[in-house]
């Protein structure tokens, strides 16, 4: 999911099955799918909130928190990512966009079809999707061993 899609996400875009309707770049439509774990966290988050904002994610405090139909900003999202990265003791620079790249890389390394990754990321071109996949050296080595005819 793109940053702009996340900060503009509204409650009504998620159905009971955890399918999320996204209107992405160029007004293209697609679905993304929540895991059971993510669905449960969102349910808990929404039940703890005391507001009627149509937006799924709202700021806890700050300038936008007092607005009736409040939503988080890209800066707010980045601040939260940084906070949790530090709490987890991660010393790797992390952004919402790098998480998107990581998602694509993880799917590819698990053997996901590139066309499926393209759809999930909302890319028009498979070439764009390939720029998101950053295969690790370990993955390249394992692939070589698995497919090279003389590797045994």
Q: Which of 30, 85, 100, 101 is catalytic?
A: 100
Tally of CA atoms within 13 A in the half-sphere of 63 that contains its CB: 3
Of 48, 74, 89, which closes a domain? 89
Known active-site residue 70: no
Domain termination site, one of 48, 65, 89: 89
Clarify whether residues 17 and 47 are in a common domain. Answer: yes
pLDDT value for 67: 64
Q: Which of 2, 39, 80, 85 is catalytic?
A: 2
pLDDT of residue 18: 94
Q: What is the pLDDT of residue 139?
A: 78
How many domains, in total, are found in the chain? 2
100 is catalytic: yes
25 is catalytic: yes
* Interhelix angle 96-109/114-121, nearest 10 degrees: 160
Encoded tokens for 152: 């045994």
Residue numbers of the domain that contains 19: 1-89
Last residue of a domain, one of 89, 104, 130: 89
Q: Which of 23, 97, 131, 144 is catalytic?
A: 97
Q: Where are the alpha helices (DSSP H) in the chain?
A: 3-7, 36-48, 74-87, 96-109, 114-121, 126-132, 137-147
Local structure of 135: helix, strand or coil: coil
pLDDT, tens digit only, all 152 positions of the chain:
999 999 999 999 999 999 999 988 888 899 999 999 999 999 999 999 888 889 999 988 666 555 667 899 999 999 999 999 999 998 888 899 999 999 999 999 888 999 999 999 999 999 999 888 887 677 778 888 888 887 66
Residues 99 and 114 in one domain: yes
Does residue 67 carry a catalytic annotation?
no
What's the confidence (pLDDT) of residue 8?
95
Q: Enumerate the β-bridge partners of residue 19.
A: 33
Largest Cα span, the chain: 65
The active-site residue out of 11, 19, 25, 131 is 25
């Amino acid at each position: 999911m793109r940053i702009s899609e996340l900060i503009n996400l509204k409650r009504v875009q998620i159905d009971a099955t955890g399918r999320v309707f996204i209107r992405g770049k160029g007004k293209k439509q697609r679905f993304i799918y929540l895991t059971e774990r993510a669905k449960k966290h969102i349910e808990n988050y929404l039940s703890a909130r005391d507001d009627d904002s149509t937006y799924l994610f709202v700021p806890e405090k700050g300038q936008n928190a007092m607005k009736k139909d409040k939503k988080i900003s890209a800066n707010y999202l980045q601040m939260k990512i940084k906070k949790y990265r530090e709490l987890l003791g991660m010393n790797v620079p992390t952004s919402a966009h790098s998480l998107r790249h990581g998602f694509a890389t993880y799917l590819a390394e698990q053997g996901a079809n590139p066309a499926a990754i393209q759809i999930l990321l909302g890319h028009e071109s498979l070439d764009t999707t390939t720029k998101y996949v950053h295969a690790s050296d370990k993955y390249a080595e394992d692939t070589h061993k698995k497919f090279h005819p003389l590797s045994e």
